[in-house]
Each structure stands twice: as C-alpha cells, then as structure tokens.
C-alpha cells in the first residue's frame, strides 16, 4: 500500500531522501539538490521540479504530467525502471546511466540526454537537442520526432519506426539498427555504422551512409544525397534518381538513376559493385568493369 504526499513544497538538500512506496501529487520541488534520491516505488504526478538531480539511484519510478524546468538539470541518473508520461522537460542531461526507461507523450528540450542508457522506449514524443542517446543500447522509437544534431551515436541494437529525425551526424558508429517508414534529414547520416538497415525511408542531405559496413536500403528515397556510399559495403534499392554515388567498396545499388557516378579511387576494384539503373548515368568519373 502506498502513502500519499499532496500539495507539498520542498527545497534544500535531500528533502525526501530514501522514501519508498509513496504517491507524490501536486507538489513543488524548489531550488536544492537530490530531492528524491535513493528512493523506491514512487508514483509522481502533477509536480514541478526546479532543483538539481531530483531522481538519482532510484528504482521503479512512475512520473506523469510533470514539469522539469531549467534548474532541474541531470534529473534522472543511475535509476532502473522509469516510466515518464505526458511530461515537459526544459533542462539538459535529463537521463544518464539508467535502464528500462519508457517515455510516452512527452516533450523534451534537452541536450546530452539518455547517455549510456539501456532498454529505452520512446513513443509519441517530440525532442529537441543535441547528442541524444549517446552510447545507448536496445532502443525502440515509434512516432518520435527529433530536431537535434549528433543523435544516436554509438548506439547498439535498436528499432526505429514512423519517426522524423532532423539531425547532422545521426547514427554514427551504430550497430544493428533498423529504421522503418521514417524521414532522416541531415548531413553525413550513418557514417561508420555496422548492420544499419533502412526500410521504406526518405533520406535527405549531403554525403550520407559513408564508411558503413553491411548497409542495407530497401525501397528508400534519396533526396539531395550527393557523394553517397563512399567506402561502404552496401545493398540498396532506391526508388528515385540519386544525385551522386562515390567509391562504394562492394555490393549492389539499384536505383531509378544515378546522375553522377564517381569511381576515382585506384585502390578499389569496382567490379565488386553492381549498379542497376532504369535511366542512364549522365556523368561518370572512372570506369565500371
């Protein structure tokens, strides 16, 4: 059975340290530090947070309809089993070194959040900020919108569905990521990735998908994507004409057309790559064996 705290006002250091089995409703957490540290089994709703580090070293936390203002930086670290629904976040470094995180119908304006986090599910949410999910693992995103650079770098294992991601240098050094039915817009997408698979996606921006290993594109569109696939091993089916392709290492690239095919690295054996187009190659540098 849970006890209830309602309409409380808390400030200073550790006002609710090591509480357990508690509902906290309609309360304010003012300036201070570590308000709810080392706590267990909490249901927090309709509260506002303005102090630093409110939820550290916690377990089984349910947070709904809450507001985290700029002062509540680094709010949820070293915590296991967190559920956040219908919240608003306006502070940096929101999550770090945490596990089993579910975020739903939440709006975040936050930089450097969800670093080194494992088992993360985000749905029906909008994020703004740079360096999201650095070194994350086992991520699931669905109906998620992001506007921020350097996202998902070094993430291992993930499924992304129905998302709109506007991000420079997204998905760098990732491993075993599959993206379905999404829009990926920004420069230098997916460099140094391993086993990145894009299905029914729209890809927008210069120099995408270079230095990638075992890259797969299925029924994708590529818009304004010049100098694509440089030094990548790739199997791609592209529904439109690609602006340019440069020096892939090996694989098969099927497209409506390739406006410019650049094969100018004398150290590569271009017979290892097959180009299949419906149109004609308007300009090419190099030779296809």
Tell me how crowded residue 39 is: count the other CB atoms within 10 A of its CB. 25
The answer to the question of residue 278 being in a domain is: yes
Tell me, yes or no, whether 15 and 85 share the same domain. Answer: yes
User: Three-class SS of residue 200?
Assistant: coil
Q: Are residues 164 and 242 in the same domain?
A: yes
Angstrom CA distances, 11 to 29, 51, 54, 265, stand at 6, 8, 11, 63
Which of 129, 163, 186 lies at the terminal end of a domain, its last residue? 129
pLDDT score recorded for residue 110 = 97
Whether residue 183 sits in one domain with residue 59: no
- Cβ burial of 139 (10 Å; 0-12, 13-18, 19+) is buried
Residues 190 and 263 in one domain: yes
Residue 281: what pLDDT? 44
The rounded distance, in Å, linking the Cα atoms of 270 and 256 is: 20
Q: Are 7 and 97 in the same domain?
A: yes
Instruction: Indicate if 191 and 91 belong to the same structural domain.
Output: no
pLDDT score for 1: 78
123 and 154 in a single domain? The answer is no
**Where does a domain end: 129, 155, 177?**
129
Residue 113 domain flag = yes
Same domain, 182 and 285: yes
Q: 36 and 150 share a domain? A: no
Shared domain for 160 and 234, answered yes or no, is yes
> Can you give the pLDDT at residue 278?
85
Q: Decide if 194 is inside a domain.
A: yes
Residues 1 and 120 in one domain: yes
Burial (CB < 10 A; 0-12, 13-18, 19+), residue 88, is middle
For residue 136, tell me if it sits in a domain: no
pLDDT, position 279: 55
User: What residues pair up with 202 in beta bridges, in sequence order?
Assistant: 183, 221
CB count in 10 Å sphere of residue 101: 23
Domain that holds residue 178: 146-289
Residue 139 maps to a domain: no
Residue 238 inside a domain? The answer is yes
With a cut of 70, list the residues of the chain below it in pLDDT: 279-289
Question: 141 lies in a domain?
Answer: no
- The count of structural domains within the chain is 2
CA 228 vs CA 190, 203, 242: distances in Å = 11, 11, 8
Task: Decide if 88 is inside a domain.
Answer: yes
Pair (156, 282) in one structural domain: yes
Last residue of a domain, one of 66, 96, 129: 129
């Amino acid at each position: 059975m849970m006890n209830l705290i309602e309409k409380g006002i808390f400030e200073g250091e550790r006002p609710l340290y090591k509480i357990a089995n508690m509902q906290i409703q309609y309360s304010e957490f003012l300036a201070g530090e570590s308000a709810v540290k080392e706590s267990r089994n909490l249901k927090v709703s309709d509260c506002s947070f303005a102090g630093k580090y409110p939820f550290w070293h916690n377990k089984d936390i349910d947070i709904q309809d809450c507001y985290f203002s700029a002062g509540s930086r680094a709010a949820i670290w070293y915590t296991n089993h967190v559920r956040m629904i219908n919240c608003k976040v306006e502070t940096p470094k929101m999550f770090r070194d945490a596990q089993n995180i579910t975020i739903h119908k939440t709006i975040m304006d936050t930089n450097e959040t969800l670093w080194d986090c494992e088992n993360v599910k985000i749905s029906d949410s909008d994020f703004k900020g740079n360096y999201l999910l650095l070194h994350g693992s086992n991520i699931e995103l669905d109906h998620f919108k992001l506007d921020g650079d350097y996202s998902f770098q070094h993430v291992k294992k993930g499924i992304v569905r129905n998302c709109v991601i506007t991000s420079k240098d997204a998905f760098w050094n990732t491993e075993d990521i599959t993206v379905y039915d999404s829009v990926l817009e920004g420069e230098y997408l997916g460099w140094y990735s391993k086993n990145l698979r894009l299905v029914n996606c729209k890809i927008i921006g210069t120099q995408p998908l270079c230095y990638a290993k075992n890259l797969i594109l299925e029924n994708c569109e590529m818009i304004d994507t010049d100098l694509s696939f440089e030094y990548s091993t790739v199997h791609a089916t592209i529904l439109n004409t690609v602006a340019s392709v440069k020096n892939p290492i090996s694989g098969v690239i099927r497209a409506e057309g390739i406006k410019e095919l650049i094969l100018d690295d004398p150290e590569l054996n271009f017979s290892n790559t097959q180009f299949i187009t419906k149109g004609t190659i308007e300009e090419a540098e190099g030779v296809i064996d």
